[in-house]
Amino acid sequence: MEALAVRLSGLDAYAEGAIRVVAFYDTLMRRRVDLPALARASAGLAECVAGIRLHGTGRALRVAPDGGLPADPSTPGAGSAPGFAPGFAPGSAPGFAPGSPPVPITLDEEEVGEVWLERPGPPLLLDTVVLERLAIAAATVVERYGPARTTMADPALVELVISSGGDQAATARALRLLGFAPDVPVEVVAVRSRLPLHRIGALVCPAGPVKAATVGDVGVLLTTGVDEDRFPADSRAGIGAADSPERSWRQARTALRFTTPHRPVVHHARLGALALLAQVPPAVARDDADVAAIAALAGNAGDLATLDAYCATGSQRRAAQLLHLHHSSVARRLEQIGKTLGIELTEPAGLVRASVALTTWRLLADRDG
């Protein structure tokens, strides 16, 4: 590394400095330093306050260039020894340079913390390199010593747990490697969301272990318990029973197909006989007159949304509340939709018929992508 730095020094002063920063942190890693030592070394290298925060602990480690604990407005009269300052936010520190935002510490594709520099003046040329190497080094230290417990898991292990026809001994071993105790029922959740999967896992499974991975185009959560009310608004989730992981995964995928904007989280056990609709052959579904009528109606987003709200609530007034419309407007729309479909929507039998047709059309559309 030193020889490479010497060769690069004749070409680019920045490249020489960057290589020396990399070599500096490589040396620290070979010495197997802990987080306080890493923060002290980084503060001395950057000649300004360096900080490390782990999200799991909610505390921030800040060290001055001389190795002491810098002043912090939230803890007046802080001592001179480096340590953790509870609740400190790096962006609020005196002299924190907006041009040098915190860099995330990433472990197993999950953000477990962040690092930053508190420079009284503008950021220096090599500050970005220092922060990047500090974040990588911090991730190595966290992985070696803890205490971060990541949510993201090896997709191969998760796929082994949920795969059909898998060897029971291999499944049990995979669950142990993922951190689940033997003989503890594990339920599977199938998720689609724009949010990172590890954040969803930590949010909806606050009281127990959870491991997450993406299998195909679906997020998978393995957990011993999930709080259905904590799913973010823009997420869809299907939940299987805590029977066997393989069966729970099949149920979770089926339940996910039944989710709608008005019912974004579906537990397979609550579907009952409706789950049978997922087994209807696509050709049979397409040939059904009611399903074909719904498919034609789908070209009008307003009519489809009105029918969906009405089927979800079973009430014109509650549908109007969901749609933020007057109930008389919804009534007129439903009357016209009923004529188009050839179904008397105000009758109980008609409502069931429309609901089944709408659900079957959605399942067909989901299958067709």
The string of DSSP codes covering 254-284 is HHHHT-BTTB-EEEGGGTGGGGGGGGS-HHH
Strand pairing class (110-118; 49-54):
antiparallel
- Residue 101 confidence (pLDDT) above 80: yes
Is the pLDDT score of 85 beyond 50?
A: no
Q: How many residues does the chain have?
A: 369
pLDDT of residue 148: 54
CA–CA–CA angle 159, 165, 171 (5° rounding): 50
The predicted model gives 59-77 an average pLDDT of 72
Strand 49-54 relative to strand 59-63, pairing: antiparallel
Residue 137 or 88, more confident: 137
Model confidence at 91: pLDDT above 50? no
CA atoms of 40 and 65, how far apart (whole Å):
7
Q: What is the pLDDT of residues 254-309, one digit of tens each?
A: 999 999 988 999 999 999 999 999 999 999 999 999 999 999 999 999 999 999 99
Considering the four listed CATH numbers 1.10.238.10, 1.10.10.2840, 1.10.10.10, 3.30.2390.10, the one that applies to the domain covering 280-367 is 1.10.10.2840
Q: Is the pLDDT of residue 327 over 50?
A: yes
Q: What is the pLDDT of residue 149?
A: 62
The DSSP code for 70 is P
Nearest to 161 by CA among 150, 170, 152, 153: 170
Range with lowest mean pLDDT among 89-103, 275-289, 292-306, 331-345? 89-103
Q: Is 113 helix (H, G, I), strand (E, B) or coil?
A: strand
Residue 317 pLDDT = 95
Tell me the CA distances in angstroms from 199 to 88, 144, 223, 231, 239, one per residue in order: 22, 23, 14, 10, 17
On whether the CB atoms of residues 231 and 264 are closer than 8 A, the answer is yes
- Average pLDDT of the segment spanning 300-326: 94
Q: What's the number of CA atoms in the CB half-sphere (13 Å) around residue 142? A: 27
CA atoms within 13 A on the CB side of 187: 21
For residue 90, is pLDDT > 70?
no
Give backbone dihedrals phi and psi of 298, rounded to 5 degrees, phi first: -60, -15
* Alpha carbon distance 239, 253 (integer Å): 8
Virtual torsion, Cα 169, 174, 176, 179, nearest 10 deg: -160
Domain residue spans of the chain = 2-145, 155-271, 280-367
The rounded mean pLDDT for the chain is: 85
CATH tag for 2-145 (out of 3.30.230, 3.40.50, 3.30.450, 1.10.3470): 3.30.450
Q: What is the pLDDT of residues 29-46, one digit of tens each?
A: 999 899 999 999 999 999
Average pLDDT over residues 204-217: 88
Q: What would the mean pLDDT of 46-74 be, rounded to a whole number?
A: 81
Tell me phi and psi for residue 223, to 5 degrees: -155, 160
190: its two tokens: 């199938």
Q: How far apart are CA 105 and CA 140, in angstroms?
A: 9
Per-residue pLDDT at 12: 66
- Location of structure tokens 């609901």: 355
CA-nearest of 304, 306, 334 to 319 is 306
Alpha helices in 146-209 (DSSP H): 155-162, 168-177, 197-204
What mean pLDDT is predicted for residues 157-175? 85
Residue 328: count other Cβ atoms within 10 Å of its Cβ.
10
3-class DSSP assignment, residue 337: helix
**Three-state SS at 223:** strand
**DSSP 8-state class, residue 47:** T
